[in-house]
Structure 1
Amino acid sequence: MNPESFAALARGRLIVSCQAGQGHPLRDTAALTRMARSAVAGGAVAIRCGGVGGVADVAAIAGAVDVPVIGLTKDGTDGVFITPTVAAARAVVAAGARIVAADATFRPRPDGRPLGESIAAVHEAGALFMADVATLEEGVAADAAGADIVATTLAGYTGPGPVPDGPDLDLVRALRRRLPAAVIVAEGRYHSPEAAAAALAAGATSVVVGTAITDPRWITSRFAAALG
């Protein structure tokens, strides 16, 4: 797969994130694999997975679905923890991911190596690199470093203030203006079909939705709160 073929596949379409953290009732590789298969049956054109389940989740889901898997690992909860090292990126490709998602913010990486080395390692292994960024400047820098896809995954999560309630559509617009030819994926707090459609209108190539589709605990809590 190359960036052009991924863009053709994903343009205007939905990517679903199938992940569950430690202590979550769905923190089970088999359960998440079934969830991924359900998402594909519903129209997802790619699955983002791994997280704290790491390469075991990536391998299981890659073997169970016939769409590209965007794989990642999570190591900790602070700083750079999404596929944070070159070694982690290589492991994700080895597990079967066709695309590796990794933190591409300006924060220091645990292995002390520049982002470009992770990008190069992923390319050498024959996969694409998705750069998870929080700001316009990080997205531009990741694109310049060779990232195949720029995603707004970390928008709102790296600043000193509280995490916003809604998605960062302004970042999507800004990235599209600065990177008119880039594959830009909107991700982060897209909690309704209307919000996902707004991301496409703002210039996103595709949209990742996770919690609002794959977390029944969160979905139930929203209904329960509405009923008061």
Structure 2
Amino acid sequence: MSSLSRGTLVVSCQAGSGNPFFSPAAMALMAQAAEAGGAGAIRANGPDDIAAIRAVTSLPIIGLHKLGDPAGVFITPTYESAVDLVAAGADLIALDGTLRPRPDGQRLDQQIRRIHNELGAPVLADVDTLDAGLAARAAGADLVATTLSGYTNGRTPTEPDVDLVRQLATKLDCPIVAEGRIRTPEHVRAVCEAGAHAVVVGNAITNPMDITARLAGAIPAP
């Protein structure tokens, strides 16, 4: 059920409320630029951004909806939060696939089953550990991504979790998507060599604020 071809670069076109690019129109422009540069798919947040992006590209869109408390399950936390994403043009639904309790009290397999049966969309589970990846696949996820590695235990590293990519690729019988802190061609090659089916890059491409801050921070103090 995956619409992501092996070797796809997915560009995450998302901007927070404090970012000058926080608007559907800006994200549509980001998606167009990403496609022109060779992206094979787009990851986007919320029905408004997804609809704007769908209007300017035919690339596959991984849709998610960030709702609720960012400290908990807030990436497409319920079935209801997925409905508008598909209506807006998302081809795949990304959701939190960690072992944390879901805000509506439903099990992950129940949410995935409804998305499959009622929306006809494949599901990408964003996980943080090997155990979560195994559980998400058992719950019916069509793809598993390393998106949340390093973001659920309060100790966020600076490098991609290549080891988790390798572990998931070894243990699971579904496509593995590498995501999280991938900033350089060397990072991309490393996760692909570890078994990633596709690679998601966000801040290093679509967040000028983050890029500027990292480069400015490298300038020696006078």
Q: TM range, normalised to the smaller chain?
A: over 0.9
Matched AA of 1:68: P
Deviating runs (4+, > 4 A) in structure 1? none
Instruction: Name the amino acid aligned to 1:187.
Output: E
Is the CA contact (8 Å cut-off) linking 2:8 and 2:41 kept in structure 1? Answer: no
What is the TM-score with the length of structure 1 in the denominator? 0.92
Q: Determine if contact 1:93/1:122 at 8 Å carries over to the other structure.
A: no
The match for 1:87 is: 80
The answer to whether the 8 Å contact 1:69/1:98 transfers is yes
Q: Aligned pair count?
A: 218
In 1: Cα distance, 2:157 partner to 2:73 partner? 20
Local SS of the residue matching 1:185: strand
How far does the alpha carbon of each residue in 1:74-112 deviate from its partner, in whole angstroms, 9 at most, with x for none? Answer: 113220000011100222112210100000111111111
Output aligned runs, 1:207-222, within 5 Å.
207-222=199-214
Determine the C-alpha separation between the residues in 2 that align with 1:61 and 1:117.
Answer: 29
Conserved 8 A contact 1:167-1:188: yes
1:40-86 Cα offsets, whole Å, 9 max, x none, are 11111110001xxx211111112221110000111132200000111
Q: 2:133 aligns with which of 129, 139, 145?
A: 139
- How far did 1:128 drift? 0.9
Q: Give unmatched runs, 5+ long, in structure 2.
A: none
Structure 1 spans left out of the alignment, 5+ residues: none
Task: Name the structure where helix makes up a greater proportion of residues.
Answer: 1
3-state SS in 1 of match to 2:218 = helix
The aligned residue for residue 151 of structure 2 is 157
Aligned sequence identity (%): 53
Q: Structure 2 length normalisation: TM-score?
A: 0.95
Task: Report whether the alignment pairs 1:16 with 2:8.
Answer: no
Q: Distance in 1 between matches of 2:134 and 2:106?
A: 19
Q: Is 1:36 paired with 2:28? A: no
| Separation of aligned partners in 2, 1:213 and 1:87 | 30
Corresponding residue for residue 115 of structure 1: 108
